């Protein structure tokens, strides 16, 4: 930070320009708002004077431009053009031209450009003000801290530099008072005026030595105003400024020591070690945070993958299910077709009856009839699928219906159904249960007196003779108008006897085959027919009801199932949510602990570096603390005494400051 002597003149020039102090004050307060990591007046000054590190100046200009314009593509080859544009926007001539670079300009012009860039930030009110705090805005408006008898004003800024402003020769607005807009409008006109060219602005205090020497000139002053100023400066300002300068110097030396790895005193080494330790801890913390972040991201990625995999699995499952359904349906259809074919085959076989083409067959009905006359048989027959024994359908139906206690109702459509079923005879079924069917049935009939073979033969003959006697010839017309002529005996419950005796002729007296049931249908009275229809309807209704009930039951079952599934799903979701909440709580706890740790670290840092912030920014706190002790500026009319004392040399505000200083001094 040492400056060669040949640059001393430039340095003096910078320090005698109040715009430079303004830039420094602005950046000390708002470096964060314009996007800089830090700002140091000394470094800035060195950069400007020596021109060694133009990079910092360019960076500063770019940041100011970015904050001003909001543009993102500010580059090395266009930022100076943007400055020219900003000047045009404000109707001002810019010193930068196509031939003249910023760094070719005299130092005064450079400072003017930087000053304007800072000043214009406030025009971009919405954008810029959003980034600064109310407190910052108030700190920005600085008053002089005091006056001397010659009318010089003394200004203290956040970089702990004290400037002196000599009294004005012609009327000129003060640099830090009043409305900024007004001042900006006039400074441009005044910047080249002779008044401004005089060195009315001087840097008075920079180093600790300067600060120690400065108040001596007022120590023995006979003027009250200077006595008060001396009192104020030595009591409030100097201790705090010296503290800040000391800690800054300490930090600077510490950093130098770290850079050069100097073997300095034992205490310094200890401090370095401590600093290193803190730095390592900070690094470790950052590393851990990074690790945690990576872990979390990994977890997130894994979860997402799992989710996608689940979706894929679910889709595959659905496709499989659908295929399975189609397959089952197809199988069902095939089965039905086969079933249908089998039914048709059975029907054909039962319809054709036994003994086709003279093949041998076995007939043994449960009515104990072992013989059958195929030629004249009218009773529908069925064959057992297992033992191939033929039986009367009505006998089987009667047997079946007797057990269900239903009236015997056997019509043609029922017969058609019978012919199609997969029929296993009662004997075969009994055999499966190791029961001899005939034995069991005959046992039941044991109560009846058994007739001898002769008696049976005789009874048969009697019956047939009886029937022959009452045989009648009847005419019946069916619904299609076909006339049948029937030779019939009287209605007889003994079917075996009547079967063979029925002879039915058509209208041409040709004998035809007509089933007993068809015959019955033909002969029935209208009342009987109505009754039959009614019963048929009832059965239909019953079947329909049963079907409906079954459907309803199925529906209810399905609904119940769905309800259960829904409940299960809800339960699962609840569990998952609970787990997530638990996890979130854990994370929050960890974060809180981490924050506490950081807070602790920061506190320790502060102990090491004094008023310097943990990030190495300049000691902003000092001037704010000063403000608390600085007397408040009151706008009040002057008393006559004060007027006399001050000789009307100052405006009302400066007088009121003095008044306050006075009153505080007397206390």
| Strand-by-strand arrangement of the 472-477 sheet | 472-477, 483-488, 503-506
Q: What is the distance between the alpha carbons of residues 505 and 499, in angstroms, rounded to a whole number?
A: 15
Nearer to Zn ion among residue 27 and residue 372 (C-beta): 372
Structure tokens at 609: 């570096």
Nearer to Zn ion among residue 34 and residue 425 (C-beta): 425
Q: What is the distance between the alpha carbons of residues 541 and 501, in angstroms, rounded to a whole number?
A: 39
| Shortest spacing between CB 470 and Zn ion, in angstroms | 25
By CB under 5 A, tell whether 612 contacts Zn ion. Answer: no
| Shortest spacing between CB 384 and Zn ion, in angstroms | 3
| Shortest spacing between CB 432 and Zn ion, in angstroms | 10
3-state secondary structure 23-77: HHHHHHHHCCCCCCCCCCHHHHHHHHHHCCCHHHHHHHHHHHHHHHHCCCCCCCC
Nearer to Zn ion among residue 161 and residue 392 (C-beta): 392
User: What 3-state class would DSSP assign to 486?
Assistant: strand
* Binding residue (CB under 5 A) for Zn ion from 3, 195, 345, 387: 387
- Name the maximum alpha-carbon separation found in the chain: 175
| Shortest spacing between CB 544 and Zn ion, in angstroms | 33
Q: What phi and psi, each to the nearest 5 degrees, are found at residue 341?
A: -60, -45
Nearer to Zn ion among residue 275 and residue 390 (C-beta): 390
| Shortest spacing between CB 381 and Zn ion, in angstroms | 9
Binding pattern to Zn ion, positions 475-494, x when CB under 5 A? --------------------
The residue count for binding Zn ion (CB under 5 A) is 9
- Tokens 């593509």 correspond to what residue? 73
Pairing of strands 389-392, 381-383: antiparallel
- Tokens 């109505």 correspond to what residue? 530
Q: What is the distance between the alpha carbons of residues 136 and 491, in angstroms, rounded to a whole number?
A: 125
Could you tell me the CA-to-CA distances from 498 to 28, 377, 432, 469, 489 in Å, in that order? 131, 11, 35, 14, 7
DSSP assignment, residue 511? Answer: B
Nearer to Zn ion among residue 367 and residue 638 (C-beta): 367
| Shortest spacing between CB 429 and Zn ion, in angstroms | 8
- Tokens 């004005």 correspond to what residue? 168
State the Cα torsion 653-656-662-667 to the nearest 10°. Answer: -130
Nearer to Zn ion among residue 395 and residue 598 (C-beta): 395
Could you tell me the CA-to-CA distances from 326 to 163, 320, 323 in Å, in that order? 95, 10, 5
In sequence order, what DSSP letters do the residues of 225-246 get, joined into one string? HHHHHHHHIIIIIHHHHHHHHH
Q: Taking contact as CB under 5 A, which single stretch among the options 5-13, 39-47, 310-318, 358-366 is the one that binds Zn ion?
A: 358-366
Structure tokens at 19: 């715009």
**What stretches of 516-618 show up as alpha helix (H) in DSSP?**
516-523, 526-609
* Binding residue (CB under 5 A) for Zn ion from 292, 395, 598, 645: 395
| Shortest spacing between CB 320 and Zn ion, in angstroms | 44
| Shortest spacing between CB 395 and Zn ion, in angstroms | 3
Q: Taking contact as CB under 5 A, which single stretch among the options 262-270, 377-385, 513-521, 562-570 is the one that binds Zn ion?
A: 377-385
* Binding residue (CB under 5 A) for Zn ion from 153, 392, 420, 630: 392
Q: Taking contact as CB under 5 A, which single stretch among the options 10-18, 95-103, 386-394, 455-463 is the one that binds Zn ion?
A: 386-394
Q: Which run of H or E residues covers position 477? A: strand 472-477
Residue 402's contacts (CB-CB under 8 Å, 6 or more residues apart) are none
Q: Taking contact as CB under 5 A, which single stretch among the options 222-230, 366-374, 526-534, 536-544 is the one that binds Zn ion?
A: 366-374
Backbone conformation region of residue 358, classed left if phi is above 0, alpha if psi is from -120 to 50, else beta: left
Residues 432-442, buried b or exposed e (16+ Cβ, 10 A)?
eeeeebeeeee
Nearer to Zn ion among residue 383 and residue 486 (C-beta): 383
Q: Which run of H or E residues covers position 628? A: helix 621-629
Nearer to Zn ion among residue 137 and residue 442 (C-beta): 442
Binding pattern to Zn ion, positions 48-87, x when CB under 5 A? ----------------------------------------
| Shortest spacing between CB 567 and Zn ion, in angstroms | 52
Q: What is the distance between the alpha carbons of residues 612 and 600, in angstroms, rounded to a whole number?
A: 16
Nearer to Zn ion among residue 58 and residue 374 (C-beta): 374
- Tokens 């004392």 correspond to what residue? 645
Nearer to Zn ion among residue 234 and residue 386 (C-beta): 386
Residues 35-45, buried b or exposed e (16+ Cβ, 10 A)?
ebeebbbeebb
Query: Which of these, 476, 472, 523, 516, lies nearest to 496 by C-alpha position?
Result: 516
| Shortest spacing between CB 532 and Zn ion, in angstroms | 24
Nearer to Zn ion among residue 62 and residue 401 (C-beta): 401
By CB under 5 A, tell whether 396 contacts Zn ion. Answer: no
Query: Which of these, 666, 667, 610, 665, lies nearest to 234 by C-alpha position?
Result: 665
Q: Quote the distance between the C-alpha of residue 247 and its chain's center.
A: 50
Q: Taking contact as CB under 5 A, which single stretch among the options 123-131, 361-369, 529-537, 644-652 is the one that binds Zn ion?
A: 361-369
By CB under 5 A, tell whether 367 contacts Zn ion. Answer: yes
| Shortest spacing between CB 341 and Zn ion, in angstroms | 22
Binding pattern to Zn ion, positions 419-438, x when CB under 5 A? ------x--x----------
By CB under 5 A, tell whether 384 contacts Zn ion. Answer: yes
Nearer to Zn ion among residue 84 and residue 428 (C-beta): 428
Q: Taking contact as CB under 5 A, which single stretch among the options 171-179, 360-368, 544-552, 638-646 is the one that binds Zn ion?
A: 360-368
| Shortest spacing between CB 378 and Zn ion, in angstroms | 13
By CB under 5 A, tell whether 365 contacts Zn ion. Answer: yes
Q: Taking contact as CB under 5 A, which single stretch among the options 147-155, 185-193, 388-396, 499-507 is the one that binds Zn ion?
A: 388-396
| Shortest spacing between CB 383 and Zn ion, in angstroms | 8
Q: Quote the distance between the C-alpha of residue 520 and its chain's center.
A: 79
Q: Taking contact as CB under 5 A, which single stretch among the options 260-268, 272-280, 302-310, 378-386 is the one that binds Zn ion?
A: 378-386
| Shortest spacing between CB 391 and Zn ion, in angstroms | 6
| Shortest spacing between CB 349 and Zn ion, in angstroms | 14
Nearer to Zn ion among residue 30 and residue 423 (C-beta): 423
| Shortest spacing between CB 387 and Zn ion, in angstroms | 3
Whether 197 contacts 139, CB under 8 Å = no
By CB under 5 A, tell whether 364 contacts Zn ion. Answer: no
User: How buried is 218 (Cβ within 10 angstroms: 0-12 exposed, 13-18 middle, 19+ buried)?
Assistant: buried
Structure tokens at 139: 């700190």
Nearer to Zn ion among residue 10 and residue 386 (C-beta): 386
Binding pattern to Zn ion, positions 517-556, x when CB under 5 A? ----------------------------------------
Q: What is the distance between the alpha carbons of residues 507 and 488, in angstroms, rounded to a whole number?
A: 16
Residue ranges binding Zn ion (CB under 5 A):
365, 367, 384, 386-387, 392, 395, 425, 428
């Amino acid at each position: 930070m040492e400056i060669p002597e040949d640059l001393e003149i430039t340095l003096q020039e910078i320090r005698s320009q109040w715009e430079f102090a303004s830039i420094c004050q602005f950046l000390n307060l708002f470096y964060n708002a314009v996007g800089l990591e830090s700002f140091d007046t000394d470094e800035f000054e060195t950069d400007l004077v020596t021109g060694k590190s133009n990079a910092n100046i360019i960076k500063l200009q770019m940041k100011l431009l970015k904050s001003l314009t909001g543009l993102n593509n500010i580059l090395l080859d266009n930022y100076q053009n943007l400055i020219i544009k900003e000047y045009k926007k404000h109707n001002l001539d810019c010193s930068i031209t196509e031939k003249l670079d910023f760094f070719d300009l005299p130092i005064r012009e450079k400072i003017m450009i930087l000053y304007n860039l800072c000043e214009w930030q406030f025009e971009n009110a919405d954008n810029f003000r959003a980034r600064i705090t109310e407190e910052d805005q108030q700190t920005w408006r600085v008053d002089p801290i005091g006056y001397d008898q010659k009318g010089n004003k003394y200004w203290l800024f956040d970089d702990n530099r004290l400037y002196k402003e000599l009294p004005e020769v012609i009327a000129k607005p003060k640099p830090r008072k009043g409305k900024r807009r007004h001042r900006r409008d006039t400074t441009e006109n005044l910047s080249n005026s002779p008044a401004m060219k005089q060195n009315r602005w001087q840097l008075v205090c920079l180093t600790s030595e300067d600060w120690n020497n400065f108040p001596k000139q007022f120590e023995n002053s006979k003027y009250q105003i200077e006595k008060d100023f001396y009192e104020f400066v030595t009591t409030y300002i100097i201790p705090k400024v010296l503290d800040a300068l000391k800690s800054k110097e300490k930090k600077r030396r510490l950093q130098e020591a770290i850079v050069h790895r100097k073997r300095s005193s034992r205490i310094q080494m200890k401090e370095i070690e401590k600093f290193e330790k803190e730095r390592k801890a900070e690094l470790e913390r950052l590393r851990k945070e990074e690790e945690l972040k990576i872990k979390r991201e990994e977890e997130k990625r894994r979860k997402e993958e799992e989710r996608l995999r689940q979706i894929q699995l679910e889709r595959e499952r659905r496709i499989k299910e659908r295929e399975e359904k189609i397959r089952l349906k197809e199988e069902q259809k095939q089965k039905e077709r086969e079933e249908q074919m089998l039914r048709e085959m059975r029907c054909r076989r039962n319809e054709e009856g036994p003994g086709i083409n003279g093949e041998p067959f076995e007939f043994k009905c449960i009515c104990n009839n072992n013989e059958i006359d195929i030629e004249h048989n009218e009773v529908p027959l069925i064959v057992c699928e297992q033992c191939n024994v033929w039986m009367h359908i009505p006998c089987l139906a009667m047997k079946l219906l007797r057990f269900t206690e239903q009236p015997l109702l056997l019509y043609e459509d029922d017969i058609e159904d019978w012919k199609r079923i997969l029929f296993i005879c009662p004997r075969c079924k009994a055999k499966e249960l190791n029961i001899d069917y005939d034995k069991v049935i005959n046992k039941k009939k044991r109560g009846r007196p058994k007739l001898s073979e002769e008696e049976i033969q005789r009874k048969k003959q009697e019956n047939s003779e009886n029937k022959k006697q009452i045989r009648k010839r009847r005419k019946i017309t069916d619904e299609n108008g076909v006339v049948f002529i029937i030779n019939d005996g009287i209605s007889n419950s003994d079917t075996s006897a009547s079967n063979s005796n029925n002879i039915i002729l058509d209208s041409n007296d040709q004998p035809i085959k007509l089933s007993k049931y068809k015959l019955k249908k033909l002969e029935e009275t209208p009342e009987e027919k109505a009754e039959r229809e009614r019963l048929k309807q009832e059965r239909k209704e019953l079947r329909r009801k049963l079907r409906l009930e079954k459907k309803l039951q199925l529906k209810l079952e399905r609904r119940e199932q769905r309800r259960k599934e829904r409940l299960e799903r809800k339960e699962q979701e609840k569990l998952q949510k609970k787990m997530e909440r638990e996890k979130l709580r854990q994370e929050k706890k960890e974060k809180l602990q981490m924050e506490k740790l950081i807070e602790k670290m920061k506190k320790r840092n502060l102990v090491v570096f004094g008023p310097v912030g943990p990030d190495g920014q300049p000691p902003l706190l000092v001037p704010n603390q000063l403000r608390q002790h600085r007397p408040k500026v009151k706008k009040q009319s002057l008393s006559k005494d004060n007027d006399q004392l001050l000789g009307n040399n100052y405006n009302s505000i400066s007088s009121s400051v003095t008044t306050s200083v006075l009153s505080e001094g007397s206390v």
